[in-house]
């Protein structure tokens, strides 16, 4: 018996449409790599909504499309592989919407989901702090209850897209006396609130998509507390599953690879071997992502999927540098500039969303049950 990996004709047609639309949208920006995190285009977010490509798998009664996980997979594989600038909608579609659907109150769903589905509300994720990245339990930003409001003080860092965002999904300390991981809660904070200051950070590539966000006595209605008071740790773990197991972790620089391969000298046996290895990796990574998307991966395994896929993206960046040679660093053509940028950006692949060392700890301890 053979396994048939082919997509149905309907899925093939949807994938082809997404690839074509993705290329059109990508043509609007100079850089096509990392388009899900750095490619901000508010019009694209609205176009995604108009096509029914936001909230595709969410229940119809919540305003979603009620479509299958495979349909969503082929759409975003096509768009991100083409380099479409979808960052204005991506975090909300990938994890904030699903988190609100799972842990939010009906009132929160009614208030926040429509803006996500229409592509008009942009969200950032406010977890990391200067002294709390890998160690989430070290979060110090405080939220103190005062009547019907929380008063938030503290600082977040590396908050992607915050300069454009309307809301940040904040993890804050609500019980300073509880053990570190038991005193955290999640709040939706309107970034237009008095006391919020957003400062973009310029990264090694010259881009400034991530930011510092300061909170100085910011008042947040108690009705914006999502899920259990002091129960954030469990909710974060769930949210990370959405963040780590998706196709965005495999194809961030797929477009660069395709564009470099179009002119690569594959008569060079070393380059040919490397390309073959990357093609194999890519197919394996895609299967790992598909297992996550279809709910067939063991719990916690997204740590392995993200590790494998993001290390693949780093190998792609290296390969593009070698295939183009020193010209990749001169940045004298659009392709060379993209390759140069990608080489400098690539270390971030295995940092964002949890570093590879931390993910290997998770695998060892939680998936394999090895001694600590």
- CA-to-CA distance for 32 and 25, rounded, in angstroms? 10
Residue with the CB atom nearest ligand FAD in the bound state: 133
Say if CB 185 and CB 232 are below 8 A apart: yes
The DSSP bridge partners found for residue 168 are 124, 189
Minimum separation from the CB atom of position 131 to ligand FAD (A): 8
Minimum separation from the CB atom of position 354 to ligand FAD (A): 6
Minimum separation from the CB atom of position 51 to ligand FAD (A): 25
- CA-to-CA distance for 211 and 125, rounded, in angstroms? 11
To 5 degrees, how large is the angle CA 127–CA 128–CA 130?
145
Closer by beta carbon to ligand FAD, 204 or else 330: 204
Give the footprint of ligand FAD on this chain (CB under 6 A): 124-128, 133-134, 158-160, 210, 348, 351-352, 354-355, 357-358, 361
Say whether 87 sits in a helix, a strand or coil: helix
Closer by beta carbon to ligand FAD, 11 or else 29: 29
Burial of 206 (0-12, 13-18, 19+ CB in 10 A): exposed
Closer by beta carbon to ligand FAD, 125 or else 260: 125
Minimum separation from the CB atom of position 8 to ligand FAD (A): 35
Minimum separation from the CB atom of position 351 to ligand FAD (A): 4
Give residues with Cβ within 8 angstroms of 371, minimum separation 6: none
Say whether 172 sits in a helix, a strand or coil: strand
Closer by beta carbon to ligand FAD, 358 or else 363: 358
- CA-to-CA distance for 152 and 170, rounded, in angstroms? 10
Minimum separation from the CB atom of position 350 to ligand FAD (A): 9
One of 243, 274, 292, 313 is an active-site residue; which one? 243
Ranges of beta strands (E only) in 66-182 are: 123-126, 142-146, 149-160, 167-173
- CA-to-CA distance for 110 and 188, rounded, in angstroms? 14
Give residues with Cβ within 8 angstroms of 226, minimum separation 6: 99, 100, 103, 104, 108, 169, 186, 187, 188, 235
The DSSP symbol for 194 reads: T
Active site residue 149: no
Closer by beta carbon to ligand FAD, 108 or else 310: 310
Active site residues: 243
């Amino acid at each position: 018996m053979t396994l048939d990996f082919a997509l149905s004709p309907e899925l093939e047609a949807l994938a082809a449409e997404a690839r074509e639309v993705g290329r059109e949208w990508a043509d609007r920006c100079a850089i096509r790599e990392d388009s899900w995190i750095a490619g901000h285009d508010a019009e694209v977010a609205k176009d995604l909504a108009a096509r029914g490509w936001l909230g595709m798998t969410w229940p119809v009664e919540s305003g979603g499309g009620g479509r299958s996980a495979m349909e969503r997979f082929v759409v975003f594989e096509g768009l991100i592989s083409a380099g479409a600038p979808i960052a204005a909608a991506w975090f909300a579609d990938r994890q904030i919407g699903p988190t609100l659907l799972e842990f939010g109150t009906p009132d929160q769903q009614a208030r926040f989901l429509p803006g996500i589905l229409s592509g008009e509300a942009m969200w950032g994720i406010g977890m990391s702090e200067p002294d709390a990245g890998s160690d989430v339990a070290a979060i110090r930003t405080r939220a103190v209850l005062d009547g019907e409001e929380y008063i938030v003080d503290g600082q977040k860092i590396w908050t992607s897209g915050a300069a454009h965002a309307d809301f940040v999904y904040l993890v804050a300390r609500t019980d300073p006396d509880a053990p570190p991981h038991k005193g955290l809660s999640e709040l939706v904070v309107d970034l237009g609130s008095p006391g919020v200051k957003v400062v973009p950070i310029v990264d090694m590539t010259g881009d400034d998509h991530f930011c510092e966000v300061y909170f100085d006595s910011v008042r947040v209605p108690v009705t914006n507390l999502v899920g259990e008071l002091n129960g954030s740790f469990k909710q974060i773990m769930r949210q990370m599953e959405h963040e780590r197991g998706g196709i965005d972790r495999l194809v961030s620089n797929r477009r660069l690879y395709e564009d470099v391969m179009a002119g690569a000298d594959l008569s060079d046996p070393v380059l040919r071997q490397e390309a073959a290895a990357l093609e194999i990796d890519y197919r394996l990574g895609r299967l790992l992502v598909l297992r996550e998307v279809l709910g067939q991966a063991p719990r916690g395994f997204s740590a392995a999927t993200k590790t494998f896929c993001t290390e693949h993206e780093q190998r792609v960046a290296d390969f593009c540098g070698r295939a183009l040679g020193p010209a990749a660093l001169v940045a004298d053509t659009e392709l060379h500039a993209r390759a140069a940028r990608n080489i400098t950006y690539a270390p971030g692949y295995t940092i964002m969303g949890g570093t590879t060392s931390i993910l290997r700890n998770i695998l060892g301890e939680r998936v394999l049950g090895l001694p600590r």
